[in-house]
Amino acid sequence: MDLADVSRIGVVGAGTMGHGIAINFALAGYPTLISDQNDGILAESKARIQAALDLFVEEGLISRRRADEAVSLITGTTLEDLAGQCDFITEAIVDRSSDKRALFNRLDELCPPQTIFASNTSSLVLSDFGSDVKRQDKIVLTHYFAPPHIVPGVEVAKGPGTSDETYELTCDLMAAARKVPIRLKMERPGYLLNTVQRALGQAATDLWAEGMASAEDIELGIITTFGFRMPHEGPMKHYDLAGLWRWPEDVRGSWASANEQMKQRLANGRPWFIDPERFDEALDARDREYARRLKALYWTDTLD
């Protein structure tokens, strides 16, 4: 199966994440079925979907026509009905291994052979709760970030038996839904970005507990410094632009002590993302983007 063969999408779990995931596919033109074992949540999802699309219209992201079309493409239904019709199904139920195992096993019984199952888990691994599924080549991780209809990035990872065909189709489907697939090479609890986010959160709360700063100033510091930079660069590109790769070894100190691979890369003078011969151009491009963001967020008037 390839992307052209995907004609209908299913989302199981209509709560905080599920209704937003459904919006992505509907905006991309896919008829989307959504189900939930809680009928109340399924009913509430309709209002949430409408409110989210109204916001997109108000902010000029989509037209009213496109919003109305997306609403018409999303249909609440039963799990059994959804399973029989969909080529790609995303589960967005509670992050409990036993619940996900039961759902994946049930879908394996109900769905046509070609159907792919994706999990939105943020902490569990496919090799655990998906281990009983017979179609091991057709299970995959698609980890969205709240709110999933707004945040662009989606982690995509294989389980032990996921085929390259399923993986590539999933990445293509994310792109078709205007998401940014982040291609992971392995599975692990927390995957990539929750692991990074958890490390930041742990450090911030530890420093708060030590009395380093108030919660308000910690938040302010993050937002106005590296948070300000992050739309342009993550930590590796920041190291590139800081010139860490050309600092003397004794000056790099603890910056280079994280692991042997990083020590070796820096010792060889190898940045990740920039051409060493065009370092000044990269700095100029960064500064221009920073200046535009400064104007938009902080300097809302021009100094005479």
Beta partners for 115? none
Domain extent, residue 290, equals 225-297
Evaluate if residue 200 carries a pLDDT over 80. Answer: yes
For residue 252, the model assigns a pLDDT of 76
What tokens were used for 20?
Answer: 């937003």
pLDDT band at 140 (very low <50, low <70, confident <90, very high): very high
Ranges 110-119, 168-177, 206-215, 289-298: which has the least confidence: 289-298
| Average pLDDT of the residues in 82-95 | 97
Same domain? 178 vs 241: no
Look at residue 218 and tell me if it is in a domain: no
For residue 208, the model assigns a pLDDT of 97
Looking only at the bridges linking them, the beta strands covering 153-158 and 139-143 are: antiparallel
Please state the domain count of the chain: 2
Beta partners for 303? none
| Average pLDDT of the residues in 121-142 | 96
Look at residue 231 and tell me if it is in a domain: yes
What tokens were used for 202?
Answer: 């742990």
Rounded distance, CA 180 to CA 6, Å?
Answer: 19
Same domain? 32 vs 136: yes
| Average pLDDT of the residues in 13-30 | 97
Same domain? 175 vs 59: yes
Which of the listed residues 151, 183, 215 is the one where a domain comes to its end? 183
Selected residue with higher pLDDT from 257 and 277? 277
Task: Classify the C-alpha dihedral 182-237-259-122 as positive or negative.
Answer: negative
Which of the listed residues 152, 168, 183 is the one where a domain comes to its end? 183
Look at residue 30 and tell me if it is in a domain: yes
For residue 254, the model assigns a pLDDT of 67
| Average pLDDT of the residues in 260-281 | 89
pTM reported for the whole predicted model: 0.93
For residue 68, the model assigns a pLDDT of 98
Same domain? 160 vs 233: no
Tell me which DSSP letter residue 304 carries.
-
Look at residue 134 and tell me if it is in a domain: yes
Which of the listed residues 157, 183, 209 is the one where a domain comes to its end? 183
Percent of the chain whose pLDDT exceeds 90: 88
For residue 255, the model assigns a pLDDT of 64
pLDDT band at 256 (very low <50, low <70, confident <90, very high): low
Selected residue with higher pLDDT from 246 and 27? 27
pLDDT band at 182 (very low <50, low <70, confident <90, very high): very high
Look at residue 274 and tell me if it is in a domain: yes
Look at residue 268 and tell me if it is in a domain: yes
Using only C-alpha atoms, the chain has a radius of gyration, in whole angstroms, of 22
* Mean of per-residue pLDDT scores for the chain: 94
Helix (H, G, I), strand (E, B) or coil at 155: strand
Rounded distance, CA 49 to CA 78, Å?
Answer: 18
First to last CA, the chain: 61
